[in-house]
Amino acid sequence: MTTTMNHISTPAYQKTSDLNNWRHFADMGAAATAPPKVIVKGEGCYLIDSDGNRYLDGLSNLFCVNLGYSYGEELGEAALAQYKELGYHSNWGSTHPRAVELASVVAELAPGDLNHVYFTPSGGESVEAAWKIARKYYKLRGENRWKAISRQTAYHGTTLGALSLIGIPEYRADFEPLVPTGGKIRNTRRVGRPAAETEEQFTAFLLDELDFRIQAEGPDTVAMILMEPVQNHGGMLVPPAGYSKGVREIADKYGILLVADETITAFGRVGAWFGSERYEMEPDIITCAKGLSSAHAVIGAVIVGDKVYEPFTASGVSLLHGNTFGGHPVMCAVALKNIEIMKRLDLPATVLANEGPFGARLEALTELPAVLEVRGAGHFFAIELMQTTQSGRSLTDAEKLHLYGDALLALPLEERGVMLRISIDAGDPVVCVSPPLVAGDAEFTHLTEALRDVLTAVSTVYADL
């Protein structure tokens, strides 16, 4: 193993973290008894901690390290060249070459007439900006529409606007009251629907609910419908046949903008440059971030279609929104290099080709008693775990925590050299499996064998309940 250890020891890092480094979404009080792991190096699809342990990064970190960890030299050279040329310039009144080039490359890859790229520093800020663009778009047309409809259990970011659109009540509760929205509609999780219901009927049921929600809100108050092509939170919810097209039709019927939050699904994750293209969503606006730079730079974007952009081109009109770091030249240079490498490796097509064989290996885990369902696309899968006993009784929260908590799942996976996200605190219990797009057969074998071992052990405990 080639591991470059830093000069600070693991305990020293952990102490520093405890004292000064306020981690995100983290229980800082728990650090005294469970100090955080300190990751010091990445190689390929693997992460190495300060004790020299090696883990397969089964989640691409936060669904973002699409290229994995072995392209630092090329990405770094691009950053260095840009630092030497122009380390910073804003993308406000004037611009710089890398923003122009990246916007053109992204517009070229984006579906349809989504030709106008507004850079941001993150996915949440892309969602925030998209909502403001939608509101302003209607104002420019003489309409006053402000509401946004989103879906249950969806995650869209943590700024107050994006947070208001999140469909996870636990994440919103501490910060209420939030920005008024148009409410949350069902996501596309089908578990629990009548066994006799066809996919077509399920789609119709979901679309009826969306239509009803818009009518209840008042169509002339609704600015946008926001959804991921494949929803991450809730467990890789692939839309049923006809759903995305049906949402598009409803949006058109009421003159509402359809916004695809592709913070995760853009740049290859589901086997296409953009998930909305694969699922025929035809959005008016796309928000993206993570894969744009494979998370090697702090950059996101809102990609806007010709129709939405047009009123902003009138003389004297400005979108009074922006930030210092949106379209930072070094971030743009790294994103350009990232896309160049992704094209060279033909990653979206490779991911699409991997989907069948990788998905089948995960699907085989459904034979284990504790596994309810496997679903997903590309390199974006979820294993949903049982919430009832074999005799049909609902598991208590304590039982779920025992079965799917660290002791039986996360730690045994780590012992087998695999890092994954197990989500049991908000929504249904799922193991998210989303390796870097450069993962191949060796990584799929490592992942699925570790999952089989661990979920077999969990199933033994589960079967006794």
Ligand X SMILES: Cc1ncc(COP(=O)(O)O)c(C=O)c1O
Does 261 participate in binding ligand X (rule CB under 6 A)? yes
Whichever of 244 and 459 has its CB closer to ligand X, that residue is: 244
Sequence-ordered list of residues with C-beta below 8 angstroms from that of 344, at least 6 positions apart, any chain: none
Q: Which is nearer to ligand X, 157 or 283 (CB)?
A: 157
Shortest CB 363 distance to ligand X, Å = 24
Distance CA 186, CA 119 (A): 30
Q: Which is nearer to ligand X, 322 or 369 (CB)?
A: 322
Using rule CB under 6 A, residue 157 touches ligand X: yes
Answer whether 206's CB lies under 8 Å from 186's CB.
yes
Q: Torsion angle, CA of 455/458/463/465, rounded to 10 degrees?
A: -150
Is residue 269 near ligand X by the rule CB under 6 A?
no
Residue 69 to residue 72: CA distance in whole angstroms? 7
Judged by CB under 6 A, does residue 122 bind ligand X? Answer: yes
In terms of Cα–Cα distance, which of 345, 373, 357 is closest to 455? 373
Determine, following the binding rule CB under 6 A, whether residue 259 of this chain makes contact with ligand X.
no
**Closest CB 383 distance from ligand X, rounded Å:** 18
Tell me the C-alpha to C-alpha distance, in Å, between residue 104 and each of 48, 108, 281.
36, 6, 22
User: Whose Cβ is closer to ligand X: residue 50's or residue 275's?
Assistant: 275
Residue 264 makes contact with ligand X by CB under 6 A: yes
Nearest CB to ligand X, comparing residues 299 and 368:
299
Out of 289, 301, 432, 439, name the contact with ligand X by CB under 6 A.
Answer: 289
| Among 123, 161, 275, 427, interactor with ligand X by CB under 6 A | 123
Reference 225, options 205, 188, 254; nearest CA is: 254
Helix (H) and strand (E) counts for the chain?
A: 16, 15
Range list of H helices, 112-259:
123-140, 160-165, 169-172, 199-217, 243-254
Candidate segments 172-180, 257-265, 329-337, 374-382, binder of ligand X by CB under 6 A:
257-265
Least Å distance, CB 292 to ligand X, is 10
- As measured in angstroms, the least distance from the Cβ of 165 to ligand X is 9
Closer residue to ligand X in complex, CB, 50/434: 434
